[in-house]
Amino acid sequence: MKRTAIDLWHDIVENGIQRVVRRITDEESMAMAEEYGTHNYSVMHVNVVRGDGARVWDGAGNEYIDCVGAYSAVAHGHLNPAVVKALEAQLQKIVLTSRAYYTSEVGLFLKGLAEYADLDMVCPMNTGAEAVETAIKLARKWAYTKKGIAKDKAEIIVCEDNFHGRTTTIVGFSSEPNYREGFGPFTPGFRMVPFGDAQALRKAITPNTAAFLCEPIQAEGGILIPPDGWMAEVRQICDDNNVLLIWDEIQTGFCRTGRKFAWQYEDAKPDIVAVGKPLGGGLLPVSAAVGRLEVMEVFKPGDHGSTFGGNPLAAVTALTALAEMEVNDYAGRSTVLGERLKKGLVALNHPKVVEVRGKGLLVGMEVADDVDSKALTKAFVKNGILTKETRSRTFRFAPPLVVEESLIDEIIERTSRALNADC
């Protein structure tokens, strides 16, 4: 007889949630997700029950190397001991207060993140999309109160093939039809230019331009890297026209590309940077908009907020995550291991592979048009690698930055076996 929700609640209270979860098979788990969950993800046929570092396991005990890494959020590895310890200690003290009060943890977090980013002020949020929405609001209010743009006329320039989140405002300025179809009408006030084209940006600027919002590397777009010098030229164009530069470093930030932030490859310091994902140490959703005082000070009480944004539990988790990155040189690890991964994938010299590109441990492997990418995804799973196709037929390799050198070599070997499967 099918168990009811009432049975489930009693089971949880009497036996504890972990015992209840352990009794669920992989197939039962996947069946429940398909029946009761919306189908807004294309999910691999894997049920992950445990993680440690760069590895995860399913209920049958099969081991996989996690090359999705929660889209760069698990930079510290699954269940990083230092971050887990900080979270557990805070759970015994205070977790949530809202920003209606001051807390020591949040004050330290605001200072720590501002100094880490070499900027002045922080507006804490939870998800990456919230951080981008916060940056948009900051840019618009700055445009009206500081630049003098007429009310409701401010424009923000974005790039083709962008990915900044899933809110209705954000998908409204996406160039990906699948993200937009069925969700209009969309918020006005955005113009689009090709990614990596400085002259197109210069031509698109008008007296109503408030900001340029862009990823320094387009991760979801297919690990697309702009031409050398483009970021620095963008910074100069924005300076020349009194336009804010907003970098979205939600996926590329916090050592993923071999620098604290990808913009640091050039002289391209932002006025606002949107950050998230790894900031939560792989345990919690933590994000923020971080920026210069002149921009951030436009927010006044009541302008913006978040019930959970800037809570003490998130603050200590993020502070420990930042400390781990700095003390253990995550940026250096990302640089060295990323080069090893890229060179190894290139050395496979496989006819199915068109190009391998990336910076640090954000690596994309683009496959030829005649490759069945769905079959290749299954071949990766069969060979113990979890990776997903981004746009432009590119498979993402973004393992935790704590991955061992030997496991990089194992990724290369397993990739070779997957490519040699009948796809």
Q: What is the CATH number of the domain that holds 385?
A: 3.90.1150.10
Tell me, what CATH number does 192's domain have? 3.40.640.10
Residues paired with 364 in a beta bridge: 357, 396
Shared domain check, 46 and 151:
no
pLDDT of residue 4: 80
Shared domain check, 334 and 277:
no
What is the residue range of 413's domain?
A: 41-72+330-419
Active site residues: 163, 248, 277
Q: What is the mean pLDDT of residues 155-169?
A: 97
Nearest-angstrom CA–CA distance, 214 and 74: 23
- Say if CB 233 and CB 218 are below 8 A apart: no
pLDDT of residue 151: 97
pLDDT of residue 266: 98
- 34 in a domain, yes or no? no
Mean pLDDT rounded to a whole number for the chain: 96
Shared domain check, 139 and 255:
yes
Shared domain check, 362 and 289:
no
Q: What is the mean pLDDT of residues 152-164?
A: 97
pLDDT digits (tens, 9 = 90+) for 59-105: 999 999 999 999 999 999 999 999 999 999 999 999 999 899 999 99
The DSSP bridge pattern shows strands 389-390 and 394-397 to be antiparallel
Q: Which two tokens stand for residue 43?
A: 């999910």
CB under 8 Å to 157, separation ≥6 — which residues? 190, 191, 192, 193, 201, 204, 205, 209, 211, 212, 213, 243
pLDDT of residue 422: 76
- Say if CB 290 and CB 114 are below 8 A apart: yes
Q: Is the pLDDT of residue 370 over 70?
A: yes
Nearest-angstrom CA–CA distance, 40 and 204: 34
Q: Is the pLDDT of residue 141 over 80?
A: yes
Tell me the percentage of the chain whose pLDDT exceeds 90. 96
Domain-ending residue, one of 274, 295, 327: 327
Q: Is the pLDDT of residue 2 over 70?
A: no
Q: Where are the beta strands (DSSP E) in 41-182?
A: 48-52, 55-58, 63-66, 121-125, 155-159
Banded model confidence at residue 423, pLDDT cuts 50, 70, 90? low
Domain-ending residue, one of 299, 327, 355: 327
Shared domain check, 365 and 289:
no
Residue closest to 218 by CA, chosen among 197, 200, 239, 191? 197
**Kind and range of the H or E run holding 170:** helix 168-172
Shared domain check, 268 and 124:
yes
Q: What is the mean pLDDT of residues 188-202?
A: 98
Shared domain check, 335 and 306:
no
Q: Is the pLDDT of residue 1 over 60?
A: no
User: Long-range contacts: 194-203, Cβ < 8 Å, 24+?
Assistant: 194/159, 194/160, 195/159, 195/160, 195/161, 195/162, 195/221, 195/224, 195/226, 196/224, 196/226, 196/227, 196/230, 198/230, 198/233, 198/234, 198/237, 201/157, 201/234, 201/237, 202/237
pLDDT of residue 209: 98
Domain-ending residue, one of 295, 327, 359: 327
**Kind and range of the H or E run holding 355:** strand 353-359
Shared domain check, 354 and 284:
no
- 77 in a domain, yes or no? no
- 290 in a domain, yes or no? yes
- Say if CB 316 and CB 90 are below 8 A apart: yes
Shared domain check, 169 and 121:
yes
Q: What is the mean pLDDT of residues 273-277?
A: 98
- 36 in a domain, yes or no? no
Residues paired with 51 in a beta bridge: 56
Shared domain check, 154 and 284:
yes
Shared domain check, 47 and 22:
no
Burial 218-230 (b: 16+ CB within 10 A, else e): bbbbbbbbbeeeb
Q: How many structural domains compose the chain? A: 3
- Say if CB 363 and CB 341 are below 8 A apart: yes
CA 208 to chain CA centroid, nearest Å: 30
pLDDT digits (tens, 9 = 90+) for 289-327: 999 999 999 999 999 999 999 999 999 999 999 999 999
